[in-house]
Every structure is written in C-alpha cells, then in structure tokens.
Homo-oligomer: A and B are copies of this chain.
Amino acid sequence: MTERQDLAALQQRLVDFAAARRWQPFHTPKNLAAALSVEASELLEIFQWLTPEQSAAVMDEADSAHRVRDEVADVLAYLLQFCDTLGIDVLDALAAKIDRNELRFPRPDSSAG
C-alpha cells in the first residue's frame, strides 16, 4: 500500500528511479519530449475508433480502465521528468497559463439577459 503522495514526492521518486538505473544519459529534454508525445498517443489509441458515447464509458470495463490509468501515469511521469531536467516548476507553469487564459477568454457575463 502506498501512502498518499503529492506531486513533488512522486517527481522525486521518478528522478531517483532513473538515477538508480543510470538512465540519465537517455533522459535529454528532447528524448523525454518525444517519449511524452509517444505516451500521449498511446492514450489516444484507446479512443481512436470509439464514438463520443463509447469514449465516455471507457472506465466501466476493468481492462480498458486499467489501460487508461496506466497511460495517464506514463504521460505524467514523462512530463515530470522532462520538467525536472529543465528546472521547470510544472504547477507554477500551469497557474501562470490559467491566469493568461482568464484574460484571453473572458468569463461570459452570467447576469446577461
């Protein structure tokens, strides 16, 4: 049983894991960006022939639910390792992006009408 771990703790586990296996020479930012995009495509592959309705039911079946969770984990794992390599704080990057998007796509006036 794994205790509940936050993002920073999981990122550290990933970095230690790769270091213990001497994988750092392979973990250039370019290679990690390629691996991230490959994993994102493996997630998409699960959905490629599904209708929108079928895609919404993908967690109902144990096998496909496991596959989806597995690919989601791979995407996040490579994203965190990529960010570690370049010294990017992924939560700060996302907060800054949401701030920018709130200016770019103003909230519609909910009192309209």
Give A residues with C-beta under 8 Å from B. 2, 4-7, 10, 13-14, 17, 20-22, 26, 28-31, 33-52, 55-56, 58-59, 68-70, 72-77, 79, 82-83, 85-88, 90-99, 101-102, 105, 107-108, 110
Given contacts A17-B101, A55-B28, A107-B20, contact A76 B94 (CB under 8 A): yes
Contact A56 B36 (CB under 8 A): no
A–B Cβ pairs within 8 angstroms, 14 of them: A7-B91, A10-B94, A13-B98, A20-B108, A22-B108, A29-B58, A31-B48, A33-B46, A37-B37, A38-B41, A38-B44, A41-B41, A68-B88, A72-B88
A-side interface mostly: helix
Report B-chain residues with C-beta under 8 Å of the C-beta of A79: 72, 75-76, 79
B48, B58, B83: the one within 8 Å of A35 (CB): B48
Contact B96 A2 (CB under 8 A): yes
Within the assembled complex, what's the spacing in Å between the Cα atoms of A43 and B37?
Answer: 8
4 A-B pairs with the lowest CB-CB distances in the bound complex, closest first: A41-B41, A73-B97, A30-B55, A40-B40
